[in-house]
Amino acid sequence: MGISHFIKEIGRGKQGARDLTREQAAELMGLVLDGAVPDLQLGAFCIAMRVKGETAQEMAGFLDALNSRLHRIPNETAAPMVVLPSYNGARRLPLLTPLLAILLAQQGLRVIVHGGNTEDSRVSTADVMQALGLARLSSLRALTDREVVYVSSELLSPGLWRLLQVRRSLGLRNSGHSLAKLMNPVDGHALLVASYTHPEYETSMWQTMQLMQSNAMLLRGTEGEPVADPRRLRKSVLLKAGALFAEHDPQDTASIDNTAYPVGLNATQTADYIRSLLAEPERIPAPIQNQVAQLCELAQHMTVSR
C-alpha cells in the first residue's frame, strides 16, 4: 500500500498544494507509522509537507494516528506528570532542559523527558541526563514522587522513531519532529511543555493544542528545546483542556541578570554547569525560574479542579 494519492494533494508546491482533512491526515500518518509506505514515497511525503507546512487540522490528524499506536507511561495520581519533549539538543548555549526537569521535580512534580537523536552534531539531552545520573527507562512504568526520567521516542513509538530518522538521509526535519513536540505519552493526567523555533509556528501549534484539548505551556524555547531562554524573558501561553489559562508576554525583554552564559559545552561539562546552578539557586536564570513557577501554578490548578 502506498500514499501516492495523498502526495498528489500535498505535493503541488507552496501555492498549489491542498490541505488534508483531519481524517485524511490520520489515515496518512497511520500508514507512515505502520511502516506501510515505500522509502521513495516516504521521502516525498517529508519534502512535500516541509514545503507546504502542516495545518492545525493536519497535525491533529497526525496526533490521532499516533495516539492510537502510542505506548504510554501510566499516571494514576491526581497531579499531572510534566512532559518535556527534547529533540533539538544544543548547538551553542548550555542544554538546560535537564535543569528544568530537576527544578520541577524539586517542586513535587513527576517529570518525563522524551527524545531521540536525529543528528550527531548537537549535545543531546539523553547524554546530559546520563551524565547527571538520571534514570533512562528501558521499559515503561509509573514514576515515583519527584522522579525525573528519560525515555527514547523509539520506546514510545517505533513508527515515529523511524520517521524521525529520515532526517539522517534527507538532511531536513519533517512532520515527525512537530509531531514529537506535541505528543502526550502519558496515560493519565499530563502537562505538556511545547516549544517552537520560529514565530510562525506559534499559531499553528496553539491551534493544534486547542483541537487536542491539551494541558500545556507553549513558548519559544532555547534552540528549540522546551526550556526558557536564559538570556531573555519571552512570551509563554498556558492552556488548560485547550482553553487559555494564562498568558505572560514581557515583550521579549532581556533577562534582568544579563549573565554571560557559557557556549559550546559538551554533555559532561553541561552536567557540571547544571550542578553548579543547583548548588547556588540564586544563579538560576530568572526566565527559567519564571517558567517553573508558571508550570507549578497550572499543575496545582489542574490537581485541585480535577
Domain co-membership, 89 together with 230: yes
Flag the least confident range among 5-14, 103-112, 277-286. Answer: 5-14
Q: Give the tens place of pLDDT for each residue, 121-151.
A: 899 999 999 999 999 999 999 999 999 999 9
Q: How confident is the model at residue 258 (pLDDT cuts 50, 70, 90)?
A: low
> Residues 152-174: what's their mean pLDDT?
93
Domain co-membership, 85 together with 202: yes
What contacts 222, CB < 8 A, 6 or more positions away?
90, 93, 96, 228, 229, 230
Domain co-membership, 20 together with 142: no
d(CA 203, CA 293): 24
Share of the chain above pLDDT 70, in %: 97
* CATH code of 281's domain: 3.40.1030.10
> Residues 48-74: what's their mean pLDDT?
96
Q: Using the 3D structure, point to which of 23, 51, 67 is the last residue of a domain.
A: 67
Domain co-membership, 142 together with 283: yes
Domain co-membership, 217 together with 91: yes
DSSP of 16-69 = H--PPPHHHHHHHHHHHHTT-S-HHHHHHHHHHHHHH---HHHHHHHHHHHHTT
Residue whose grid cell is 531573555: 232
- Per-residue pLDDT for 254 more than 70? no
Q: What does the pLDDT read at residue 218?
A: 98
The upper half-sphere exposure of residue 227, i.e. CA atoms within 13 Å in the direction of its Cβ, equals: 27
CB 93 within 8 A of CB 65: no
Q: Using the 3D structure, point to which of 37, 67, 97 is the last residue of a domain.
A: 67
Domain co-membership, 165 together with 280: yes
Domain co-membership, 142 together with 21: no
- Per-residue pLDDT for 257 more than 80? no
Q: Using the 3D structure, point to which of 43, 67, 91 is the last residue of a domain.
A: 67
Q: Can you say whether the dihedral through the CA atoms of 176, 182, 188, 191 is positive or negative?
A: positive
Q: What does the pLDDT read at residue 213?
A: 97
d(CA 276, CA 102): 13
Domain co-membership, 109 together with 18: no
Q: What does the pLDDT read at residue 118?
A: 77
Residue whose grid cell is 517558567: 291
Domain co-membership, 88 together with 12: no
Domain co-membership, 102 together with 225: yes
* CATH code of 55's domain: 1.20.970.10
Query: How many domains does the chain divide into?
Result: 2
Domain co-membership, 269 together with 143: yes
Residue-range definition of the domain harbouring residue 125: 75-305
Q: Give the tens place of pLDDT for each residue, 221-233.
A: 999 999 999 988 8
pTM value? Answer: 0.94
- Per-residue pLDDT for 198 more than 70? yes
Domain co-membership, 124 together with 48: no
What contacts 135, CB < 8 A, 6 or more positions away?
147, 148, 149, 150
What residues form DSSP beta bridges with 238? 217, 246
Q: What does the pLDDT read at residue 35?
A: 95
